[in-house]
Amino acid sequence: MSDDAREEDRMDALISASLDDALSPEEAAELAALMAGEGMAGEGVSGEGVASRAQDFEDVDAALRALAEEPLDEARLEASLEAVQERLFESSPDAAVVIAGEAVADEIGVDAGSRASGRSESLFSRIRPAFYGGMAAAAAAMLFFAVGSGSDALRPGDLNPGGGLETLAEEAALGELTDEALVAALGYGAGPADLSELGLASPEDLEIVEQLELLDFLAAREAEGRG
């Protein structure tokens, strides 16, 4: 940087800080000297130069404030508030616990590595419905297989005392299978508490879910094409 450029940069710094009331006493004295045409040797740095540059900066500030004065659509803000409340207060308590865990990284800033791990949690939260759907379908398939092969490890009614195997399979396909039945059918534990999303979702699980989603998507697109 040339001497002139350095002086102009210094002048910019002083003017900018003065606009934000952030000048130290020494800097204020330096700026006053500049405005009086003293202090620096560069051609661009004169009393008039300072005043003109200050006006340029003030124009930029005014233009920025004008951008912020553009009215925001109130409906957008209200819809977002409703979405926040829905996500917070109508979701399960478990979800709130996960959210609290993520907040730490956001408060302190996150590096690329921790962002990557946050992404895998976020990925799961986005595909959670499909994941449970996939698990339900897998449970149904396991039950059919078990009965079809004559195994006595699982019998109709073992998992869903109130209904038969057909009912359970139908519930699974519709995504209405109870958490208890699903957890027990998959052998993950005794109840929904064991369906911990972070513990349960291995990379392999996620890959299967992604493949199921892709198949669903392709089937839907094909159906649309035919329609």
Partner 1 sequence: MQPIDQDARLMLSFREGDRDALSKLYEKWAAPLLRYLERIVKNPATAEELLQDTFIRVHGARDRYSPDAAFSTWLFRIGRNLALNELDRARNRNPHFTADSPSDGDRRSGDGSDRKSNVVALVSPLPAQDEVADARREKAKMEAALGEIPERQRSALWLAVVEGHSYAEVADILETSTASVKSLVHRARAQLVERMQTEAEAAAANTEVGR
Give the side-chain half-sphere CA count within 13 A for 59. Answer: 6
Nearer to partner 1, 59 or 207 (CB): 59
Q: Are 146 and 153 in contact (CB under 8 A)?
A: yes
Distances (CA, A) of 140 to 48, 93, 168, 171, 197: 82, 28, 7, 9, 20
Q: Residue 128 region, left (φ>0) first, then alpha (ψ -120 to 50), else beta?
A: alpha
Angle, in degrees to the nearest 10, between helices 203-226 and 112-148 = 70
The pair of structure tokens assigned to 143 is 């039950």
Q: Are 154 and 146 in contact (CB under 8 A)?
A: yes
CB of 199 to partner 1, least distance (A): 19
Nearer to partner 1, 71 or 148 (CB): 71
* Distance between CA atoms of residues 150 and 39, nearest Å: 97
Nearer to partner 1, 89 or 162 (CB): 89
CB of 70 to partner 1, least distance (A): 7
Nearer to partner 1, 26 or 107 (CB): 107
Binding site for partner 1 (CB under 8 A): 9, 12-13, 15-17, 20, 22, 53, 56-57, 59-61, 63-68, 70, 72, 76-77, 80-81, 83-85, 87-89, 96, 99-107, 109-110, 112, 115, 118-119
* Distance between CA atoms of residues 129 and 122, nearest Å: 13
Length of the chain: 227
Nearer to partner 1, 69 or 204 (CB): 69
Residue 148 buriedness (CB in 10 A; 0-12 / 13-18 / 19+): exposed
Nearer to partner 1, 88 or 141 (CB): 88
CB of 163 to partner 1, least distance (A): 38
* Distance between CA atoms of residues 172 and 31, nearest Å: 75
Nearer to partner 1, 72 or 190 (CB): 72
